[in-house]
Amino acid sequence: MTFRKLALEQLDRAIEPLRATPRAIPRTGWIRAIRNALGMTTTQLGKRLGLTSQAILDSEKREAAGDVTLTHLRKLGDALNCDVYYALIPRVPLATTVEDRAREIVARDVEELSHSMALEDQQTEATLKEKRIQAGVHRLLQGRWSQLWG
């Protein structure tokens, strides 16, 4: 097993529990939801950060709109005694993404070859095509993966 494949599998295993985590964001955003749950006013939160009540309201609106920086969100989180977690969670396992991309590239090449052979009346059967694709995917994944994304 290559180092790259091992690293990919380890990252997939680390991400897997996050895939099952509900990612519902409160309609008003986390800052306002937590501040309200704590019974804290915008003035009180602002005082903890050296900001005005209006600045807190603006931050809450930006966060709810998805337009707040991570740095600012961390400062607000600290003032609310909260940690900020940031993650990119792949929709499918990373290994699947890599294998699907390799298969797409190899299948396109095999299809072009099959088309040329068909023009010369040398059609290839489906099982032979599939074996060529599988062998090509294996070969491609043994090489540099940067070729997958060009």
Q: What is the pLDDT of residue 107?
A: 93
pLDDT tens by residue, 20-37: 888 788 999 999 999 999
Q: What is the pLDDT of residue 122?
A: 53
65, pLDDT greater than 70: yes
Q: What is the pLDDT of residue 117?
A: 54
- CA angle (56, 22, 55) in 5-degree steps: 5
Q: Of the ranges 9-18, 47-56, 112-121, which one carries the lowest mean pLDDT score?
A: 112-121
Question: Is the overall model pTM greater than 0.75, yes or no?
Answer: no
**CATH fold group of domain 24-88:** 434 Repressor (Amino-terminal Domain) (1.10.260)
Pick from 113, 102, 110, 104: which is nearest to 143 by CA?
102
Instruction: Name the DSSP class of 36.
Output: H
Q: Where are the domains of the chain?
A: 24-88, 94-149
DSSP state string for 96-142: HHHHHHHHHHHHHHHHHHHHHHHHTT-PPPHHHHHHHHHHHHHHHHH
Question: Residues of the chain with pLDDT > 90: what percent?
Answer: 66
